[in-house]
Amino acid sequence: MAPEAIPALLDEIDELLAEPSPTEEPATLARLERTLTDGYAHALSLEAERLRLERRMSELAGELHDGNREQKAEELVQVSRRISRAGDEIDHLRTTLAELRARARVVRAHAS
């Protein structure tokens, strides 16, 4: 899932959370579960990206003594910002997914 897909995913989650109380039909539960699956896949992708960036940051820190310090320091700043953004996105997405998971539990209970 592409990074630019997160706003659309969050919009879909917000839409599902805003829908009326769950005397819902099976199609709604299927949509909730599909959206949860998509959301967790995206969260894992963001976590993998953050891990890759953290490795790159370590590499850059180790290369600072190799010369071209200014360029490497600037890249360190950029990588650090990207790590921070990824962390914020992961936190926001996981919080929103927890709300959606609770909603799915309620819908599932009403479907039983």
**pLDDT tens-digit profile of 19-57?**
766 566 777 889 999 999 999 999 999 999 999 999 999
Mean predicted confidence (pLDDT) in 8-12: 92
Residue 10, judged by CB atoms within 10 A of its CB (0-12, 13-18, 19+), counts as middle
Q: Which tokens is 37 given?
A: 């699956």
Is the pTM here over 0.95, yes or no?
no
